[in-house]
């Protein structure tokens, strides 16, 4: 919220606190000043200059002036403005001053410049006489500022005095971040209440007095057909309206909070919005038909053209303000063009209402239309300010002489009081929340400063909660006591630095830490790091195009993904059903960055709906995805990662050839453990590598961690060392190319019951062996069981193995 | 006799000469065989000459031969030692290598910065008796908002732009959603830490639509704001260093009352003011507060008997502060050049 300090000063005296002190006070009380600046922060050393003499330099438009700058002395200044004259007072930028530099049009600001001593046409010039624009002023901030020439200062301006002060450029502006529970502070008055409390000063209320003329608008009535969306609607008729410009002070204040001036009546509504926090609307009575206002839900398809000449088609979710015939305003958002205030307006109907914040928000969002009023309503407007705002507007009408206040005032409401609500709490419980004993007199002082009018009776503190403090008011649906609200008010004013740190002296001892599942997952991640893989993290959502990238068939389970109704964009619109797509994209990004090899892994959830659209919680399954890429990677390096995982968990994986739409048809396997399906890995299909512009081969694995978690923390028992020495034999076999390692291994194991391990150490295909054949060399380890092997028993085993291999697979022992 | 004595002297001279020209231990051992060892060695042969001497000459002669043998063995041992040292030296020299040739480190991957911070936080809080509870990423409107005292038209709903999956289901905007599930199932004492991904419809230079939070919740008898402050003091010292202090300032969350924003003294400059803390000396680290009584009641916990506090930490933000990462997007980019830089300290 933008808070000009001069406006705040109207309602609370801050003249004895510095800007920094005020900022600190606000910060401590829960109001963070996001930005603070002096309006004229960029300019300096500008004083009131009195032009004593002014002579035209021949054959130019320049004048050479002798300027009196009071305490700063007298100096000669050359000036090209057409309104420079002897006897005039103008802003004088002294040598060394900073002013805005303008383009040739003298309007567009192009930066800040420093004034230097110079010579023009041979005449020395010690300073510069300035225009309003060069000081950063606008017409609304200071009249005459946008004249294309010098800014004329008043005759009574003291020569040599500071022009920033004179023109209000010494104004300080705070931009304050407000929390969502304090919509009552979304105004100058609201902040003044808080600042008065912080400084323990008196709050001066804005003038709200006016005199009714006795004139009435006979028969005028207001009907609220949707009180749930409009708990209070007040209207007041103003006659003998003269539409004019607003006075300079009002224009300036509106300009300070970023609003342009339109006309006295419209400016009053905006002024009240900013000052009191109450959105107002003014209708031109001559365009209202039927002498009534009806607040109702719009009919489906009903149309309205708003002030900005946009037409909107409404539904019954939108609230409209109608006259006896037609919609005249989109409630809480914007008035209708048909009843807008014009130069010819002579009678006005002021509206000050409370509309349900949620409905205003929905209307603003659904129609894509917002305004200062709607954003104010969305934060929450209280009925206290609805009443106060109307009074303030009528006062201003009178003060500005913009019209006369009639006696026709209608206030339709649902009976909510705008008087304070009493609330009693236990002081002990207030202190119990804080964990310290705040002296009762300090509690009372805070309550008093915040206008809660406290009274104390023993432990009972009774306060009167003002109607604008809706955050403190008891909730009709809840019976919980509200002493924490009081505790919060007390401590933010008393000071959080009073809180004494304690360490739960009343709490029971609890055991903390990771559970088995969480420990297992962390151990798995650390194992993957040991294989050289970096952990990465991707969004839980992905793109429909990712499903196409992975070539999933139409009926694939992965296509049954949960849609986000309001995604940031289509690429982030589906909840992931696989981690593979994000991973391949990550590999592709790395390759584009010139990283041509690496290993990555991610542990994350995939989302499997039981029904779409969702009617119950979907399954969230934990998955692991690993990718390897680079010329040194192969199917076997990925298999080695799988084996590392298995070995780290003391389990055994089994692999079966499998097909996946996104994997190489002959380099893909499923992974199981004790018959439980865990996932797959394989080489990424070439068309997908091409589509992702990958320059090196990539391999990807996805495992179901929920399934794998069955083995987390597997109990390990010590196996006694073997009693007898094991025996190893290296055997090289010649066989048909198609025979797999697995076939040979199975056959060897079938042939002998003492096999501990069959390990492949070489595969050879080439010139030294016949076409269509390959050689595989194994180390076979035999482990004796009950007794040691006798002399030639291992040789007998080998012979048997060779016979079986020959018999079953036509495999020959080499040499 | 004289002849024999002459032979001894001759042999001695010969041994000395031979020993000095030996080139390696192989020759040395051959030398030993020829001169000193065995029945056919030269020294043995000289000894055999004894039988040709007169008995009275034998003792003197035998003594001389033995002296020669002693001396020769001594010389041999000396040479053996020298030779071994020399040969070892040769062996080493042959294995001289270029020590400047670079070596590649064993490739070890890193845990993600978010996991690292998460683990650090878990370690700290587990030690204080917190259990870890990971809720689901997809939540209902009730658990994410309503039960957390944020009903449909509550202004706080505007604080967070929510991704909806259906009118009822959404992507959780805060890990606080998990609090409710825990409190519904379990009566106090409760001390849980709930880390996880959360989602908000925000995507610009400083916001990511997905980020991670860690929610902490304590509910027990007599828990106060002072206990929150005390616990946070311990926490910041553990994560940012012993000299770090905390500051509470008022804030607002619908599910806590009072609510506070917690700052810690800047661990970069020690509170003097620097670019990290934007000159303030303080760094905003988390939001917290005393659990709103209504939230306890919503979960069937008697809010007059029990009270509690909750806090929520942004993990990415903590990681960025800790590791000096300047852009949140770098954490989700899987750029190996980034990931390989961040390791556990």
Question: CB of A45 within 8 A of CB of A98?
Answer: yes
d(CA A260, CA A746): 88
Return the SS3 of B39. coil
What residues contact A492, with CB distance under 8 A and at least 6 apart? Answer: A28, A29, A30, B250, B258
B207 — pLDDT class (breaks 50, 70, 90): confident
Statement: residue B150 has pLDDT above 70:
yes
Nearest to B165 among A508, A535, A562 (CB): A562
Write phi, then psi, for A431 (nearest 5 degrees). -65, -30
Q: Using the 8-state DSSP alphabet, how is residue B278 labeled? A: T
B155–A590 CB contact, under 8 Å? no
Q: Over range A768-785, report the average pLDDT.
A: 90
Where do we find the tokens 């800014």? Answer: A151
d(CA A520, CA A522): 5
Homologous superfamily (CATH) for B113-339: Bira Bifunctional Protein; Domain 2 (3.30.930.10)
Distance from CA of B148 to the nearest CA of A (A): 14
Distance from CA of B8 to the nearest CA of A (A): 58
The pLDDT of residue A506: 83
Q: Using the 8-state DSSP alphabet, how is residue B198 labeled? A: E
A568–B293 CB contact, under 8 Å? no
Mean pLDDT of chain A: 94
Nearest to B226 among A378, A436, A475 (CB): A436
Dump pLDDT digits (tens) for B68-81. Answer: 888 888 888 888 89
Nearest to A435 among B153, B225, B336 (CB): B225
Distance from CA of A426 to the nearest CA of B (A): 12
Q: Which residues of A touch B165 (CB under 8 A)?
A: 562-565, 575, 613-614
A180–B336 CB contact, under 8 Å? no
A815 — pLDDT class (breaks 50, 70, 90): low
Dump pLDDT digits (tens) for A54-71. Answer: 999 988 889 999 999 999
Where do we find the tokens 């991640």? Answer: A525
Return the SS3 of A158. coil
The pLDDT of residue B323: 87
Nearest chain A residue (CA) to B119 = A522
Disruptive mutation site among B154, B278, B334 for chain A (greatest number of A CBs within 10 Å): B334
Return the SS3 of B34. helix
Read off the tokens for B334: 């899987």
Exposure of A159 in the CB half-sphere (CA atoms within 13 A): 15
Q: Using the 8-state DSSP alphabet, how is residue B222 labeled? A: T
Exposure of A417 in the CB half-sphere (CA atoms within 13 A): 8
The pLDDT of residue A790: 84
In angstroms and rounded to an integer, the radius of gyration of the C-alpha atoms of chain B is: 43
Read off the tokens for A284: 């031109």
Statement: residue A634 has pLDDT above 80:
yes
Predicted structure pTM score: 0.84
- Widest pairwise Cα distance in chain B: 134
Q: Which residues of B touch A586 (CB under 8 A)?
A: 333-334
Q: Which residues of B touch A590 (CB under 8 A)?
A: 334-336
Closest among A623, A651, A642, A606 to A521, alpha carbons compared: A623
Q: Over range A74-94, report the average pLDDT.
A: 94
Q: Over range A736-750, report the average pLDDT.
A: 92
The pLDDT of residue A366: 87
d(CA A194, CA A766): 89
d(CA A96, CA A404): 52
Question: CB of A203 within 8 A of CB of A190?
Answer: no
Where do we find the tokens 């209402």? Answer: A353
Angle at A126 (CA atoms; ends A125, A132), nearest 5 degrees: 95
Share of chain A above pLDDT 90, in %: 86
Disruptive mutation site among A488, A511, A520, A579 for chain B (greatest number of B CBs within 10 Å): A488
Q: Which residues of A touch B209 (CB under 8 A)?
A: 539, 541, 568, 572
Dump pLDDT digits (tens) for A440-467. Answer: 999 999 999 999 999 999 999 999 999 9
Return the SS3 of B97. coil
Dump pLDDT digits (tens) for B80-108. Answer: 898 899 899 999 999 999 999 999 888 99
A620–B189 CB contact, under 8 Å? no
The pLDDT of residue B345: 55
B109–A529 CB contact, under 8 Å? yes
B158–A378 CB contact, under 8 Å? yes
What residues contact B324, with CB distance under 8 A and at least 6 apart? Answer: none
The pLDDT of residue B158: 61
B159 — pLDDT class (breaks 50, 70, 90): low
Q: Which residues of A touch B245 (CB under 8 A)?
A: none
B339–A534 CB contact, under 8 Å? yes
Closest among A735, A745, A739 to A781, alpha carbons compared: A745
Dump pLDDT digits (tens) for A180-197. Answer: 899 999 999 999 999 999
Looking at the DSSP assignment, which residues form a beta bridge with residue B248?
B262
Nearest to B257 among A484, A504, A512 (CB): A484
Return the SS3 of A520. helix
Read off the tokens for B89: 């030296």
Nearest to B332 among A436, A537, A566 (CB): A537
Statement: residue B308 has pLDDT above 70:
yes
Domain map (residue ranges) of chain B: 2-95, 113-339
Q: Which residues of A touch B337 (CB under 8 A)?
A: 593, 595
- Widest pairwise Cα distance in chain A: 130
User: Of B6 and A687, which is predicted with more confidence?
Assistant: A687
Distance from CA of A364 to the nearest CA of B (A): 13
Exposure of A610 in the CB half-sphere (CA atoms within 13 A): 6
Nearest chain A residue (CA) to B196 = A604
B1 — pLDDT class (breaks 50, 70, 90): low
Disruptive mutation site among B135, B140, B166, B224 for chain A (greatest number of A CBs within 10 Å): B224
A179–B290 CB contact, under 8 Å? no
Q: Which residues of A touch B249 (CB under 8 A)?
A: 27-28, 30, 496
Statement: residue A97 has pLDDT above 60:
yes
B210–A525 CB contact, under 8 Å? no
* Helices B55-94 and B25-35, packing angle to 10 deg: 170
What residues contact A233, with CB distance under 8 A and at least 6 apart? Answer: A222, A224, A293, A295, A351, A353, A354, A410, A411, A412, A413
Question: CB of A734 within 8 A of CB of A812?
Answer: yes
Statement: residue A742 has pLDDT above 60:
yes
Statement: residue B160 has pLDDT above 70:
no
Q: Which residues of A touch B292 (CB under 8 A)?
A: 484
Give the best-scoring range by mean pLDDT among A665-674, B171-180, B194-203: A665-674
A473 — pLDDT class (breaks 50, 70, 90): confident
Where do we find the tokens 């065995």? Answer: B38
- If one counts every other C-beta atom within 10 angstroms of the C-beta of residue A167, the result is 25
Disruptive mutation site among A229, A502, A515, A562 for chain B (greatest number of B CBs within 10 Å): A502
Where do we find the tokens 């290993």? Answer: A599
Statement: residue A215 has pLDDT above 80:
yes
Disruptive mutation site among B125, B138, B216, B247 for chain A (greatest number of A CBs within 10 Å): B138
B178 — pLDDT class (breaks 50, 70, 90): confident
Where do we find the tokens 């900013």? Answer: A274
d(CA B289, CA B246): 14
User: Of A419 and B43, which is predicted with more confidence?
Assistant: A419
Q: Which residues of A touch B110 (CB under 8 A)?
A: 529, 534-535
What residues contact B104, with CB distance under 8 A and at least 6 apart? Answer: none
Cα distances from B155 to residues A182, B158, B161, in angstroms, run: 10, 6, 12
Disruptive mutation site among A490, A496, A607 for chain B (greatest number of B CBs within 10 Å): A496
The pLDDT of residue A766: 86
Dump pLDDT digits (tens) for A642-657. Answer: 999 999 999 999 999 9
Statement: residue A475 has pLDDT above 80:
no
d(CA A149, CA A111): 19
d(CA A547, CA B345): 39
B251–A179 CB contact, under 8 Å? yes
Looking at the DSSP assignment, which residues form a beta bridge with residue A542?
A574
d(CA A628, CA A639): 11
B131–A512 CB contact, under 8 Å? yes
Q: Which residues of B touch A182 (CB under 8 A)?
A: 252
Q: Which residues of A touch B331 (CB under 8 A)?
A: 537
Question: CB of B193 within 8 A of CB of B133?
Answer: yes
Size of interface A-B (CB pairs under 8 A): 263
A480–B110 CB contact, under 8 Å? no
Statement: residue A49 has pLDDT above 80:
yes
Dump pLDDT digits (tens) for B31-47. Answer: 888 888 888 888 888 88
Angle at B337 (CA atoms; ends B336, B340), nearest 5 degrees: 70
Q: Which residues of A touch B229 (CB under 8 A)?
A: 499-502
Q: Which residues of B touch A534 (CB under 8 A)?
A: 109-110, 112, 334, 336, 339-340
Where do we find the tokens 């930005």? Answer: A35
A589–B107 CB contact, under 8 Å? no
Q: Which residues of B touch A536 (CB under 8 A)?
A: 112, 334, 339
For B273-311, letters b (16+ CB in 10 Å) and e give: eeeebeeebbbbbbbbbbbbbbbbbbbebebeebbbbbb
Closest among B52, B30, B50, B53 to B41, alpha carbons compared: B30
Return the SS3 of A177. strand
Task: Find the distance separating the first CA and the last CA of chain B, reported in whole Å.
Answer: 87
A502–B126 CB contact, under 8 Å? no
d(CA A592, CA A348): 66
User: How many helices, marked H, and strands, marked E, lie in chain B?
Assistant: 11, 9
A512–B191 CB contact, under 8 Å? yes
């Amino acid at each position: 919220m933008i808070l000009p300090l001069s406006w705040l000063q109207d309602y609370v005296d801050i003249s004895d606190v510095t800007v920094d002190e005020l900022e600190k006070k606000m910060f401590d009380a829960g109001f963070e000043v996001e930005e603070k600046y002096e309006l004229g922060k960029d300019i300096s050393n500008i004083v009131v200059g009195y032009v004593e003499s002014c002579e035209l330099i021949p054959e130019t438009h320049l004048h050479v002036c002798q300027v009196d700058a009071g305490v700063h002395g007298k100096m000669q200044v050359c000036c090209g403005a057409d309104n420079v004259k002897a006897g005039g007072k103008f802003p004088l930028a002294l040598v060394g001053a900073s002013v805005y530099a303008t383009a040739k049009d003298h309007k567009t600001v192009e930066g800040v410049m420093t004034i230097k001593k110079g010579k023009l046409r041979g005449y020395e010039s010690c300073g510069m006489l300035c225009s309003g624009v060069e000081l950063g002023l606008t017409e609304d901030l200071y009249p005459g500022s946008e004249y294309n020439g010098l800014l004329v200062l008043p005759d009574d301006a003291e020569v040599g005095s500071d022009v920033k002060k004179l023109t209000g450029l010494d104004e300080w502006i705070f931009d304050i971040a407000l929390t969502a529970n304090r919509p009552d502070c979304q105004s100058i008055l609201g902040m003044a209440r808080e600042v008065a409390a912080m400084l323990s000063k008196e709050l001066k209320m804005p003038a709200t007095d006016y005199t009714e003329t006795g004139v009435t608008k006979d028969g005028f009535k207001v009907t609220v057909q949707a009180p749930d969306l409009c708990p209070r609607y007040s209207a007041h008729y103003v006659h003998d309206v003269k539409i004019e410009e607003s006075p300079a002070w009002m224009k300036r204040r509106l300009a300070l909070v970023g609003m342009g001036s339109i006309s006295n009546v419209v400016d009053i509504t905006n002024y009240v919005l900013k000052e009191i926090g109450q959105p107002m609307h003014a209708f031109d009575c001559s365009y209202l038909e039927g002498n009534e206002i009806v607040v109702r839900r719009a009919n489906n398809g009903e149309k309205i053209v708003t002030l900005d000449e946009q037409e909107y088609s409404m539904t019954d979710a939108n609230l409209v303000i109608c006259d006896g015939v037609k919609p005249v305003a989109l409630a809480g958002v914007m008035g209708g063009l048909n009843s807008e205030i014009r130069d010819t307006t002579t009678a006005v109907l002021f509206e000050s209402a409370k509309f349900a914040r949620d409905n205003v928000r929905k209307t603003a969002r659904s129609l894509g239309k917002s305004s200062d009023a709607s954003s104010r309503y969305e934060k929450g407007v209280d009925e206290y300010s609805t009443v106060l705002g109307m009074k303030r507007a009528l006062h201003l009408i009178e003060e500005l002489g913009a019209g006369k206040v009639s006696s026709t005032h209608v206030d339709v409401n649902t009976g909510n009081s705008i008087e304070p609500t009493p609330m009693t709490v236990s002081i002990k419980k207030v202190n119990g929340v804080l964990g310290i004993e705040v002296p009762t007199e300090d509690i009372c002082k805070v309550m008093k400063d915040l206008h809660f009018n406290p009274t104390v009776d023993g432990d009972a503190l009774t306060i009167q909660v003002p109607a604008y403090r809706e955050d403190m008011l008891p909730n009709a649906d809840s019976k919980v006591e509200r002493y924490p609200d009081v505790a919060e008010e007390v401590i933010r004013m008393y000071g959080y630095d009073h809180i004494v740190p304690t360490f739960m002296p009343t709490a029971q001892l609890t055991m903390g830490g990771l559970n088995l599942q969480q420990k297992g997952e962390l151990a798995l991640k650390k194992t993957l790091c040991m294989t050289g893989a970096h952990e990465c993290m991707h969004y839980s959502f992905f793109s429909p195009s990712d499903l196409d990238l992975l070539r999933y068939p139409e009926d694939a389970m992965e296509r049954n993904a949960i849609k986000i109704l309001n995604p940031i964009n289509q690429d982030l619109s589906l909840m992931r059903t696989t981690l593979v797509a994000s991973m391949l994209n990550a590999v592709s990004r790395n390759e584009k960055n010139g990283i041509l090899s690496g290993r990555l892994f991610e542990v994350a959830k995939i989302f499997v709906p039981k029904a779409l659209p969702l009617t119950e919680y979907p399954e969230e399954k934990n998955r692991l995805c690993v990718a390897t890429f680079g010329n040194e990677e192969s199917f076997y390096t990925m298999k080695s990662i799988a084996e590392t995982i298995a070995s780290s968990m003391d389990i055994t994986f089994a692999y079966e050839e499998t097909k996946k739409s996104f994997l190489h048809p002959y380099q893909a396997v499923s992974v199981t453990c004790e018959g439980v399906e865990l996932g797959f890995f394989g080489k990424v299909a070439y068309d997908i590598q091409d589509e992702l512009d990958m320059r090196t081969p990539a391999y990807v694995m996805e495992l179901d961690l929920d399934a794998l978690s069955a083995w987390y923390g597997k109990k390990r028992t010590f196996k006694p060392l073997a009693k007898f020495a094991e025996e190893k034999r290296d055997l090289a076999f010649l066989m048909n190319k198609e025979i797999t390692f697995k076939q040979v291994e199975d056959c060897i194991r079938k042939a002998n019951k003492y096999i501990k391990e069959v390990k492949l150490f070489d595969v050879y295909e080439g010139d030294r062996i016949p076409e269509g054949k390959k050689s595989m060399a194994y180390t076979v380890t035999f482990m004796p069981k009950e007794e040691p092997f006798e002399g030639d028993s291992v040789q007998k085993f080998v012979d048997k193995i060779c016979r079986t291999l020959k018999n079953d697979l036509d495999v020959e022992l080499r040499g | 006799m004289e002849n024999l004595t002459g032979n001894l002297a001759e042999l001695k001279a010969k041994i000395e000469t031979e020993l000095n020209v030996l080139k390696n231990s192989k020759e040395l051992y051959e030398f030993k065989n020829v001169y000193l060892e065995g029945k056919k060695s030269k020294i043995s042969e000289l000894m055999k000459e004894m039988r040709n001497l007169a008995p009275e000459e034998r003792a003197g002669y035998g003594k001389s031969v033995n002296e020669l043998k002693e001396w020769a063995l001594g010389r041999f041992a000396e040479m053996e030692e020298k030779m071994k040292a020399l040969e070892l030296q040769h062996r080493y020299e042959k294995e001289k290598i270029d020590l400047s040739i670079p070596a590649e480190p064993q490739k070890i991957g890193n845990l993600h910065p978010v996991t690292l911070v998460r683990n650090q936080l878990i370690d700290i809080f587990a030690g204080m008796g917190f259990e870890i509870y990971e809720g689901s990423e997809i939540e209902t409107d009730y658990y994410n908002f309503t039960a957390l005292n944020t009903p449909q038209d509550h202004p706080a709903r505007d604080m967070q732009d929510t991704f909806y999956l259906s009118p009822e289901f959404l992507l959780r905007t805060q890990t606080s959603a998990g609090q409710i599930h825990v409190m519904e199932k379990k009566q106090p004492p409760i001390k849980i830490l709930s880390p996880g991904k959360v989602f908000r419809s925000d995507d610009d230079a400083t916001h990511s639509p997905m980020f991670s939070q860690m929610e902490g919740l304590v509910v027990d008898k007599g828990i106060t704001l002072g206990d929150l402050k005390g616990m946070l003091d311990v926490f910041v010292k553990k994560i940012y260093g012993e000299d770090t202090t905390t500051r509470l300032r008022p804030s607002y969350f619908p599910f806590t009352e009072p609510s506070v924003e917690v700052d810690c003294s800047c661990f970069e400059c020690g509170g003097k003011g620097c670019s990290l803390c934007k000159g303030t000396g303080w760094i905003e680290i988390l939001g917290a507060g005393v659990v709103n009584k209504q939230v306890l009641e919503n979960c069937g916990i008697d809010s007059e008997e029990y009270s509690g506090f909750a806090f929520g930490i942004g993990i990415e933000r903590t990681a960025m502060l800790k590791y000096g990462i300047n852009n949140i997007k770098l954490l989700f980019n899987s750029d190996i050049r980034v990931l390989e830089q961040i390791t556990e300290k």
